[in-house]
Amino acid sequence: MQNRTHTCNELRITDVGKEVQLSGWMENIREVGGNLAFIVLRDFYGTTQVVVEDEEIMKKVLPLNKESVLSVKGIVRERSSKNPRQDTGDIEVVPTSVDILGTCRYNALPFQINRSKEADETMRLKYRYLDLRNPEVKKNIIMRCKVVAALRKAMIDHDFLEITTPILTASSPEGARDYLVPARKHPGMFYALPQAPQQFKQLLMTSGFDRYFQIAPCFRDEDARGDRSPGEFYQLDMEMAFASQEDVFAILEDVLPPIFAQYGTYNRASAAPFHRIAYNDAMETYGCDKPDLRIDLTATDVTDLLSGCGFGPFEGQVVKAIPVTDFTCTRKQIDKLCADAEVISGNKAYWFKLDENGEIAGGIAKFLQEKKDDIIAALNLKPNTFVALSAGKKGAAQKTAGALIKLLGPLCPNHMDAEKYEFCWIVDFPMYEIGEESGELEFCHNPFSMPNGGLEILKKAQSGEVDPLTITAYQYDLVCNGVELSSGAVRNHDPEIMIEAFKLVRLGEEDVKAKFPAMYNAFCYGAPPHAGIAPGVDRMVMLLAAADTIREVIPFPMNKNAQDIMMGAPGYVEQKQLDELHIACVKEEKE
């Protein structure tokens, strides 16, 4: 190899006496006396100690700043003081010559390389190329590469073809904001970066391809979260012709567990078949559609039981209870639990406990004394049991209960088997919902999903025989440890069913043809039943690495404001470029 015979993690005691050449970054230099210096040389693979004993070489290396790049030729010898924590700790290299390949011109680094994770995130992102030199940061990116390779191999082994789909496409109403790209040759017109290859992969099914996949880049102009990166992300996109929901489940239940068991921080992962939970059941039992099944706590509806107890926030509301046995938390921890749940859900949480004497105490206990026996019997309470409570309209009570469960899991280790990967399918999602902003009927998830009941149920909804909000779809989410990895569906491949589905959200046949011309026309030429899903690669690697945020597993992530502060994106462009694209930037007038 150019500039080296070995890597910095390769030499062992059996190499003593060899003449070698190493290249890497000078991680550290320590002068001892006036005629001896120790250098830690680091490359992608590891570190090696270099011992400088030559006066001329000393003069060359001592003025150098840390992180300068060196090429060292020398002889391997056994270390007198071995380092068992270092893979190369039995040997050291005594240089006969040192060449400077790249000088670090800055005496002070923005952070210490090996402790970069302790630095402010803004500094880490600005100097990401330095942050990535930290082996602890680099290992997540290495894992990502290995996971992507394993996913690709597994899909090919299951007879899927890897097909790339366009990046420049048409804007499509798919739930998030598009990133728009002006078309220079078509003034006033725009391409859009794909939010997902949804339509293209369905068109591949109509084209006669049987099994498609790709590690697909997706672009959505949405705000950042801990498990979502703004701008772009990658997903394992797949689609199968002549397939049912069960076929999709079978593929992922075969592909994912071995990868999670091999590469994950935890070496235990769910075996097939994964738990299947209907959406409505998940909301009632776990308070969310992304349950963390490592936690054994569940919510119970106690509305009838606690109505009329005299506690104002319960009157006329849905009330949920989460019993927690063998509870040992302090009052301070309980107060924090309730405060955190309110921050997450926007609704207050309440509590009481059955103490070691079998008495109801603490929290709202004074309102429950008259119903003590009924409460103990209904919730099967044992002494030293804590009961968290939520109240409000159904959705609010469920959301608060879900927040409490997720907070109580880590707080109560005896109720959470944390070191494993627990998968589940959430199935039977509602086809429609009432939009929070519009107040009108909207698609709940994917508008291209096949409704349970097909054309008949849609016509009954049109005639008023059936409430559209009760219609479920062949839609499913894959959840792991409380994180949604992906959404998928059996697709609506029948143009007549598609038109009826859109009529319920006030869009007619002409609207469907205008918004989805290629897919509508393709389906009119005969389309096979097909189904698919798209697990997020970034989220998958985040779980495998047990990382706190998704930015830890992306080589060059944006910050929370969708800015690449390392490259200075987004940025202003020259007027000439705007003129070529027929774009005028207008300043917003302040009122």
pLDDT at residue 288, as a whole number: 96
pLDDT at residue 175, as a whole number: 64
- pLDDT mean over 402-412: 96
Q: Which helix (H) or strand (E) element contains residue 124?
A: helix 121-126
- Burial zone of 546 (CB within 10 Å; 0-12 exposed, 13-18 middle, 19+ buried): middle
Q: Which phi-psi region, left, alpha or beta, contains residue 368 (left: φ > 0; alpha: ψ -120 to 50)?
A: alpha
Q: Which phi-psi region, left, alpha or beta, contains residue 188 (left: φ > 0; alpha: ψ -120 to 50)?
A: left
pLDDT band at 1 (very low <50, low <70, confident <90, very high): low
What residues contact 128, with CB distance under 8 A and at least 6 apart?
555, 556, 557, 566
pLDDT tens column, 489-500: 999 999 999 999
pLDDT at residue 34, as a whole number: 74
Q: Which helix (H) or strand (E) element contains residue 140?
A: helix 135-157
pLDDT tens column, 292-301: 999 999 999 9
CA–CA separation, 237 and 196 (whole Å) = 8
pLDDT at residue 438, as a whole number: 84
pLDDT at residue 588, as a whole number: 79
Residue type at position 41? L
Place of tokens 């690709």: 152
Contact 404, 390 (CB under 8 A): yes
pLDDT tens column, 184-222: 999 999 999 999 999 999 999 999 999 999 999 999 988
pLDDT band at 137 (very low <50, low <70, confident <90, very high): very high
Q: How does the average pLDDT of the chain come out, rounded?
A: 94
The gap between the terminal CA atoms of the chain, to the nearest Å, is: 65
CA–CA separation, 527 and 520 (whole Å) = 10
Flag whether pLDDT at 173 surpasses 70. no
Helices of type H across 422-506: 454-463, 495-503
- Burial zone of 242 (CB within 10 Å; 0-12 exposed, 13-18 middle, 19+ buried): exposed
Please give the angle made by the CA atoms of 514, 518 and 522, to the nearest 5 degrees: 125
pLDDT band at 226 (very low <50, low <70, confident <90, very high): low
Flag whether pLDDT at 174 surpasses 70. no
pLDDT at residue 591, as a whole number: 63
Flag whether pLDDT at 47 surpasses 80. yes
Nearest to 234 by CA among 537, 539, 564, 480: 537
pLDDT at residue 522, as a whole number: 94
Q: Which helix (H) or strand (E) element contains residue 95?
A: strand 91-102
- Buried b / exposed e across 372-394, counting CB within 10 Å, b at 16+? eeebbeebebeebbbbbbbbbee
Neighbours of 467 (CB within 10 A): 10
pLDDT tens column, 103-127: 999 999 999 999 999 999 999 999 9
pLDDT at residue 550, as a whole number: 92
CA–CA separation, 213 and 163 (whole Å) = 6
pLDDT at residue 171, as a whole number: 87
pTM: 0.90
CA-derived radius of gyration, the chain:
30
pLDDT at residue 281, as a whole number: 97
CA–CA separation, 132 and 124 (whole Å) = 9
- Burial zone of 135 (CB within 10 Å; 0-12 exposed, 13-18 middle, 19+ buried): middle
Phi, psi of 463 (to 5 degrees): -85, -10
Q: Domains for the chain: give ranges and CATH numbers.
A: 13-102 (2.40.50.140), 123-272+528-591 (3.30.930.10), 295-416 (3.30.1360.30)
Pairing of strands 300-301, 231-241: unpaired
